[in-house]
Amino acid sequence: MALALKKLASAGVAHQLLPAAGALLPGLGAAASQLQARRTKMSHSEATNTFILEALEHLEYPKRLRKLLLTPEREVAVELALLRDNGEVATFNAYRVQHDNSRGPYKGGLRFHPQVDLDDVRSLASLMTWKTAVMDIPFGGAKGGVTVDPNELSERELEILTRKLVQLEILTRKLVQALRPILGTYEDIPAPDMNTGAREMAWIFDEYTKFAGFSPGIVTGKPVWLHGSLGREAATGRGTVFAIRELLAAQGLGEIKNKSFVIQGFGNVGSWAAQILHEMGGRVVAVSDAFGAVANEHGLQIPDLRAHVADRHSLASFAGGVVIPKESVLTVPCDVLIPAAIGGVIDEDNARDLQCKIVAEAANGPTTPEGDAILRERGITVLPDIFTNGGGVTVSFFEWVQNLQNFKWSEDEVNAKLDRVMREAFEAIWELHTEDKIPLRTAAFVKALQRVTRARVHRGFD
């Protein structure tokens, strides 16, 4: 605690915060443990707030800041109507939550998933605030989502839905904020997340450009031939691998070569992480997606598996491995387990069954607070999501910078810059972790809270 406060003081903030130290956040520890003690499952945002509250116990911040840090600045919910190919009208709920912009424009992905709801998006938006702060890139945090299963929409309908989302967001925010649209190159910049990618980002760019004129920086993760950045598609997976490499070195466990990995989720993040681990000599012994799982204790031939899936074959029909139940993938023995799909998959029901030394959270929010407590107890190191998957938003930042400059960096340049950002972020949280003897997740939240609070306090509250 002392160290964290000392660091805050050296950042020139403590003098503004410490006078209120008498008004320490009372009951924070109690609140966190009450939440943990609840028998019913926490919502996604309760889970995220539990981690924030735990980190706040290491920072003597005045109570008045607590609500500011825990709750989003703006939430917009819209209903999108879509004329289906069969002539019927369907409606979909969509959300954009802007959590914090103390350090820069709101930034965060847009997810199309049947389980999306406001609480989910709220939690993901908060994680973006802490992620951009841990990575030390000048953005805030936001997230968007549409409650839809894109597999049930034709390609034509999906495009219409995306266009409507942008139009309705701008329209709704204009209504709420009188003339000030909430999306903007310097306001709120969406990006890919689950079930969205370069195709959807191209539609968003095109649609927004109709309102505001040529605006490549309005969205990141665009196709490379349409103002996207080289390296963005692979960036989250690549950053995850860099994060694991740093941890292995810091723990004296050696290199990625010959280590074994299991990956849940074989979409953008999971498949790129698998590819890069494979190129570095790692053995990916099992992978799963929403429909099945495949394993090979000698290591799957990842380039062949990626080609197999790209050819629209099911993952489980890959001949180079054996089919296993997809639920069992988390408990396959390995050095490093990489959840790279949905949230809340490691919980109190399965955390005792994991057979890995490290969990590298490529997904957002894959571990519940209850699951996290069990992993800590078992001595399994968790590389937290707000650092591990920060490579995506980091290269989004690079894409945005290139767009602002109308300039293009080489892929090597992008990857080298990503490597440096990941290393510096790791060093910062590793230092707190070792000096203050706190888990890496808590260290990451403490570092992020310090950076966000410092910016907010120095900007003032008027």
Ligand X SMILES: O=C(O)CCC(=O)C(=O)O
Ligand Y SMILES: NC(=O)C1=CN([C@@H]2O[C@H](COP(=O)(O)OP(=O)(O)OC[C@H]3O[C@@H](n4cnc5c(N)ncnc54)[C@H](O)[C@@H]3O)[C@@H](O)[C@H]2O)C=CC1
DSSP 8-state secondary structure symbol assigned to residue 218? G
Question: Cα angle at 334 between 338 and 363, to 5 degrees?
Answer: 5
The reply to whether 340 sits near ligand Y by the rule CB under 6 A is: yes
**Cα atoms in the 13 Å half-sphere on the side-chain side of 455:** 22
143, 164, 222, 357: the active-site residue: 143
Considering only residues 366 to 395 of the shown chain, the ones binding ligand Y according to CB under 6 A are 389, 392
Both tokens of residue 406? 């109308």
| Residue 223 touches ligand Y, criterion: CB under 6 A | no
Query: Any contact of residue 409 with ligand Y (CB under 6 A)?
Result: no
According to the binding rule CB under 6 A, does residue 289 interact with ligand Y? Answer: yes
How many whole angstroms separate alpha carbon 272 and alpha carbon 236?
Answer: 8
Residue 194 interacts with which of ligand Y, ligand X, none, CB < 5 to 8 Å by class: ligand Y
Choosing among ligand X, ligand Y, none, which partner's interface includes residue 340 (Cβ < 5 to 8 Å by kind)? ligand Y
Nearer to ligand X, 59 or 386 (CB): 386
Cα(322)–Cα(309) distance, integer angstroms: 16
Smallest gap from residue 238 Cβ to ligand Y (A): 11
Query: Which partner from the list ligand X, ligand Y, none does 107 bind, CB cut-off 5 to 8 Å by kind?
Result: ligand X
288 binds, among ligand X, ligand Y, none (CB under 5 to 8 A by kind): ligand Y
Which of 94, 189, 342, 383 is in the footprint of ligand Y by CB under 6 A? 342
Question: Pairing mode, if any, of strands 336-339 and 260-264?
Answer: parallel
The DSSP code sequence of 270-339 is HHHHHHHHHHTT-EEEEEE-SS-EEE-TT---HHHHHHHHHTT--GGG-TTSEEE-GGGGGGS--SEEEE
Query: Is 192 a residue that touches ligand Y (CB under 6 A)?
Result: yes
Query: Which amino acid, one-letter code, is at 29?
Result: G
Residue 215 interacts with ligand Y (CB under 6 A): yes or no? no
SS3 116: coil
Tokens 């894959």 map to which residue? 366
In whole angstroms, what is the distance from residue 6 CA to residue 9 CA? 5
396 is in an annotated binding site: yes
- In total, the chain counts a number of residues equal to 462
Q: Is 194 in the site for ligand Y (CB under 6 A)?
A: yes
Q: Are 316 and 323 in contact (CB under 8 A)?
A: yes
Q: Would you list the DSSP string of 158-176?
A: HHHHHHHHHHHHHHHHHHH
Task: Give me the least distance between CB of 73 and ligand X, in Å please.
Answer: 17
Q: Is 193 in the site for ligand Y (CB under 6 A)?
A: yes
Residues that bind ligand X (CB under 6 A): 107-109, 128, 131, 191, 193, 220-221, 364, 389, 392-393, 396
268 is in an annotated binding site: yes
Which stretch in 3-11, 17-25, 250-258, 288-296 sits in contact with ligand Y by CB under 6 A? 288-296
**For residues 192 and 203, what is the distance between their CA atoms, to the nearest angstrom?**
12
- Closest distance of CB 60 from ligand Y, Å: 31
**For ligand Y, the closer CB: 4 or 346:** 346
Assess 269 for contact with ligand Y (CB under 6 A). Answer: yes
Q: Which residue has the tokens 């012994």?
A: 285
What minimum distance in Å lies between the beta carbon of 236 and ligand X? 7
Q: Work out the number of other CB atoms within 10 angstroms of the CB of residue 226.
A: 12
Max Cα–Cα distance, the chain, nearest Å: 65
Gyration radius of the chain's alpha carbons: 21
- Which residue, 292 or 365, has its beta carbon nearer to ligand X? 365
**45 touching ligand Y, by CB under 6 A:** no
Mark whether 143 is an active-site residue: yes
Name the binder of 220 from ligand X, ligand Y, none, CB < 5-8 A by kind: ligand X
**Closer CB to ligand Y, 16 or 350, in the complex:** 350
**DSSP-based three-state secondary structure for 103:** coil
Total residues contacting ligand Y by CB under 6 A comes to 24
Interface with ligand Y (CB under 6 A), residue from 248, 363, 375, 418: 363
Q: Which residues contact 410 (CB under 8 A, 6 or more apart)?
A: 230
Residue 132 annotated as lining a ligand binding site: no
Interface residues toward ligand Y, by CB under 6 A: 192-195, 236, 264-270, 288-290, 326, 340-342, 362-364, 389, 392
Residues serving a catalytic function are 143
Residues making up the annotated binding site are: 107, 131, 236, 268, 396
Residues making up the annotated binding site for substrate are: 107, 131, 396
